Amino acid sequence: MTVYLVGAGPGDPGLLTVRGAEVLSRADVVVHDRLSEVSLLDLAPPEAERIDVGKRPGGPVDQESINRLLVEKGSAGLDVVRLKGGDPFVFGRGGEEAQALLEAGVPFEVVPGITSAVAVPAYAGIPVTHRGLATSFTVVTGHSRHEPESDADWDALARSGDTIVVLMGVAHRAAIAESLMAGGLAGDTPVAAVRWGTRPEQSTVRTTLAGLGQAVLEPPATIVIGQVASLDLRWFEARPLFGVRVVVTRAREQASELSAALRDLGAAVVEVPAIAITDPPPDRLKLLADKAQRVGDYDWVVFTSANAVARFMAAVGDARRFGSARIAAVGPGTAEALAARSLVADLVPERSVAESLVEAFPVAGAEGGRVLLPRAAVAREVVPDGLRAKGWEVDVVEAYRTVPAAPPRAAPPATPPEAAAADVITFTSSSTVTNYVGLGLPVPPVVACIGPVTAQTARDCGLTVDVVAEEHTIEGLIAAVRRRLGR
């Protein structure tokens, strides 16, 4: 029953504070702006009410109505997170919201955020203060240029000679530059304007005060004026996949590892959950449970995916049931899933495909022997057929099924339109291919597949495959994409 005024930071979801994430994770209601990052909204419980007050037919909701909404939801005994870009009290009108809550007697808490005034220049490699260049910085809004009575004292700012950070200044940049030059600031004063700072779409325009009026610039941008703007300690825009847009298609639960690795390299990741992983129907689930309880009766248990490991181990419950059964994994990803459960695979073929698994598998002894294969409902018959040919009795049980995911949600409100056009799409299994194609979404120019089987499915679906990973793992896929792009 508290209203939390939470600073969401400038865009990079990693810049939300720990406190912000904590209150979001148990919010009943999230009231957010247009600039809010969607992945932050995902931190709220799925059932939380999400109210976008930034983008509505007929323009944004006015401040009065937002204040009323917060008071109303807060008085109803709900935990409300008011998510605001950057810091809530830096040109965020958070102060007015706090006033309204205070007057209404609704308990509130302020969770400060990382302001774009400091973080956006930092991501462009510009420290707002720097020994020998600037001993202070002023954060000023350019928005009030058209309200002379509340406009900044540009003369005084010009005289200070230190760093001036202008927020909401794109529209009035020419007038701002003129005022500062009239106040005595030199026309050759360095200026950097950073658009979509801290996001994969970040771009930096470097100019001078005299050139600012003519610079091609779109909001939202943070404009840094002063000697520090000549510094270019680049790191963010220098990352290997910076500026590359990659579509990641896999089950929502699984996308994070690939997405996180791509993001660390600077890529803009568009997650399209093409498949969902579900339980088998009840009769099959019962069969899985029965087999899992008697897993120790088998000579081998063979896993061909991390999903199978997760589902089967949930059914096994107590790992001691394995007894002396040996374990095979098709590749390192599956072996890792086992290792995470303190199970060490006895056999992992060199190449992570079913054919190699069969080849590496021992021939059954004279007595024969039993193999359990928990796997997806739809799968190739290479493993069971191959193992039977080697003299094994093979029990196949359905551990999970992949179903097409619901079509993706509408593009997040804050996503710049450029994000719609991706450069690369990654496929990590045949089902992601068929289901993505089934969604009818556009296919980016570079198609990258984790292995030959996925690639074949893509070709069967009429796609041209540009990249097939040599090592059939997430790392292998990323390495192959980087090679292809020459990054």
Tell me which residues touch ligand SAH (CB under 6 A).
10-11, 35, 85-87, 90-92, 115-117, 120, 167-168, 194-199, 219-222
Cα gap 126→120, rounded to integer Å: 9
Show the tokens assigned to 382: 């290479």
Structural contact between residues 8 and 94, judged by C-beta atoms closer than 8 angstroms: no
Residue closer to ligand SAH, measured from CB, 127 or 404: 127
Show the tokens assigned to 458: 């893509």
Shortest Å, Cβ 9 to ligand SAH: 8
First to last CA, the chain: 50
Which one of 28, 52, 55, 73 is the catalytic residue? 55
Cα gap 51→458, rounded to integer Å: 39
Residue closer to ligand SAH, measured from CB, 83 or 158: 83
Shortest Å, Cβ 421 to ligand SAH: 20
Structural contact between residues 66 and 31, judged by C-beta atoms closer than 8 angstroms: yes
Shortest Å, Cβ 408 to ligand SAH: 23
**DSSP bridge partners of 84:** 7
| Number of Cβ within a 10 Å radius of residue 29 | 20
Residue closest to ligand SAH, measured at CB: 86
Residue closer to ligand SAH, measured from CB, 166 or 448: 166
Residue closer to ligand SAH, measured from CB, 236 or 303: 236
Q: Is 33 a catalytic residue?
A: yes
Show the tokens assigned to 337: 């899933």
Q: Is 55 a catalytic residue?
A: yes
Shortest Å, Cβ 30 to ligand SAH: 17
Q: Which residues contact 139 (CB under 8 A, 6 or more apart)?
A: 90, 91, 115, 117, 165, 167
Shortest Å, Cβ 120 to ligand SAH: 4
Shortest Å, Cβ 12 to ligand SAH: 8
Residue closer to ligand SAH, measured from CB, 120 or 327: 120
Structural contact between residues 433 and 459, judged by C-beta atoms closer than 8 angstroms: no
Residue closer to ligand SAH, measured from CB, 63 or 464: 63
Shortest Å, Cβ 250 to ligand SAH: 28
| Number of Cβ within a 10 Å radius of residue 450 | 27
Amino acid identity at 234:
R
Chain centroid, CA 58 distance in Å? 30
Which one of 12, 33, 162, 466 is the catalytic residue? 33
Residue closer to ligand SAH, measured from CB, 107 or 219: 219
Residue closer to ligand SAH, measured from CB, 10 or 74: 10
Cα gap 428→449, rounded to integer Å: 6
Cα gap 275→427, rounded to integer Å: 11
Residues recognised as catalytic: 33, 55
